[in-house]
Amino acid sequence: MRTIFLATLLAIVTQTSAQPMKAVEKITWYGQAAIKIDNDGQKIFIDPYQLKETDEADVILITHSHGDHLSIEDIKKVYTKNTSIYCPEDCEAKLLEHDLGPVTIVRPGETLMIDGTAVSTVPMYNVVKTNYHPKKTGVAILLMSAELKFIMPVTRSAYRK
């Protein structure tokens, strides 16, 4: 049996509320964990990194403070004063230092409604290289409810048989 341990994971699952969800029109993967979701006119960026475009983000979700997830240069490409940013606590100071805010802090185990999209956070850590993503940092992965059943881009994984 093969077990896959994920360092970065995004799952988009079915919305269970009676409230209709916005339709996901397009998902663009830029490499690493960087994703853009076009959600019925709303642009959601997750861990913007190595972006080739400058679409204006409605929402930016940051999973943790490593430079390939919290890239100030790339966030500035899509950030406007109307952009909402959600991130773990260890990302806040760096974002505010570059006038990227306001910031909403997320912690593992939370569920938020962001412009009609349910976002839940879970702890993320690396079980193989524990110095990269230790459990004690409480790094969050963002899960989004939408009309799609399941999507999982992976940036790092360790396989065990």
Give 26-60 pLDDT, tens digit per residue. Answer: 888 888 888 898 877 889 899 999 998 889 999 99
Q: What is the pLDDT of residues 118-151, one digit of tens each?
A: 777 777 777 777 777 766 665 566 556 545 433 4
Q: What is the pLDDT of residue 66?
A: 85
Query: 160 — phi, psi (to 5°)?
Result: -130, 140
Q: Is pLDDT of 61 > 70?
A: yes
Task: Show me where the domains of the chain are located.
Answer: 3-160
Report the SS3 class of residue 79: coil
Q: What is the pLDDT of residue 137?
A: 60
pTM attached to this predicted model: 0.76
- Statement: 3-160 belongs to CATH 3.30.930.10: no
How many residues are there in the chain?
161
Distance between CA atoms of residues 46 and 58, nearest Å: 11
- Strand 12-14 with 24-31, pairing: unpaired
Residue 102: asked if its preceding bond is cis (omega within 30°), the reply is yes
pLDDT at 13 over 50: no
Residue with more model confidence, 111 or 58: 58
CA distance 54 to 81: 14
Query: Which residues have CB under 8 Å from 110's CB, separation 6+?
Result: 120, 121, 140
End-to-end Cα, the chain, rounded Å: 5
pLDDT recorded at residue 144: 60
pLDDT, averaged across the chain: 74
Q: Which residue has the tokens 């290289």?
A: 129
Of the given ranges (32-36, 91-95, 139-143, 156-160), which has the lowest mean pLDDT?
A: 156-160
Closest of 45, 32, 65 to residue 140, by C-alpha: 65
pLDDT grade for 79, boundaries at 50, 70 and 90: very high
3-class DSSP assignment, residue 119 = strand
**Per-residue pLDDT at 83 exceeds 60:** yes
- Distance (Å, rounded) from C-alpha 65 to C-alpha 89? 9
- Report whether pLDDT(87) > 70: yes
How far is Cα 112 from Cα 98, in angstroms, rounded to an integer?
A: 25
Q: Which residue has the tokens 């805010």?
A: 101
Give me the pLDDT at residue 94, please: 96
Q: What is the largest CA-CA distance in the chain?
A: 49
Per-residue model confidence (pLDDT) at position 92: 94
